[in-house]
Structure 1
Amino acid sequence: MADGDKESFYRCFNAVYDDLYRLGIYLYRDQYLVQESINELFLELWKIRAKLTDVHNKQQYIITIYKRILYKTHAKLNTGAHEPVENIEEIPQLSQPSYEELLISAQTNDGIQQKLKRALTQLTARQSELIKMRFYEAMSYKEMAEKTSLTERTIYNTLHNALEVLRKHMYFFFSWV
């Protein structure tokens, strides 16, 4: 992965996603926050991949970065959300989801991932290529245009059409969730 091998990067993502997800849910109990933080973590790891060769304990290094990203994302999402409470009775009771609820949530996420994989097979080769560049490699429209020799407008339109295809194939699943 440190050498820029994308396949190794994807394998790493798949290998540690579930553990990072469980850790994030354990710490914050916020599915959206956890998913956003994992995505942000892997974008960050891709940016600093050359530095990873110097790290001795890569697992601890990744967990440390992940916890920082979780904290920063949580703080960003909750800016101004916590006002001082004057009366102790005003504090809402905190509830923690049961282990069974967390398992159901994780299985739902697995179902979403499987549905998305199936939906991705409905894209044309060009759409699939542009989706990977934009969302997996975090390339800008300008970078994509330079790499593919397409205009930015063509890329935008192709991505728009690809997302419509994905929405169409994902809609049925989300209507049941």
Structure 2
Amino acid sequence: MAGIRSAEDIRLWEKLQNGDKHAISALFEKYYTPLLNYGLKLIPDESLVKDSIQELFYVLWEQRENLSEVEYIRSYLYVSLRRTVFRQAEIKKTRYERDKAYTDEFFSRVVNYEELNRKETFEKEQKERLKQALESLSNKQKEAVFLKFYSGLTNTEIAQVMEVNRQSVYNYIYRAIQSLQSYLVE
């Protein structure tokens, strides 16, 4: 399955390369929120992610004359943001702290613990099973599942963003689904 090519994005990219300020603004407006949401899944530090997005678009503008042709603009932006965010995070904290914070933020958004306390016993048990199932996933599986089901990226785009081959993406998602099913069916 190929990535999603947007004729509008390609047109804006070409205008950006030619110095059109409206093109960079249009790309920024179109992708700011999806990039922010993705960045917050990587690093739960809103100011760091917002700064990284600003840096990404600043660099795009500054390097506009040197930008190459890009077939999948959305994937390119996700990959670029991912690199920028991780580079910024490495400056501020260790890799261990980054992974722990990412996992904590992911779970706090997926499972609302206050709601668990208000539900009937059966619902509590089901949600606890789901939490355990999600906790059992590796960080790569969590990231692949987020990109696939929350961001709507194709497997090809996910492979580009995560910098792995497409078969690895299939494996991450397949194993994550198997793991979730085994927890929830028991």
TM-score (norm 2): 0.43
Query: Which of these two proteins has the greater Rg computed from alpha carbons?
Result: 1
Report which of the two has the higher share of helix: 2
Tell me: higher relative CO, structure 1 or 2? Use CA pairs within 8 A at least 6 residues apart.
Answer: 2
TM-score (norm 1): 0.45
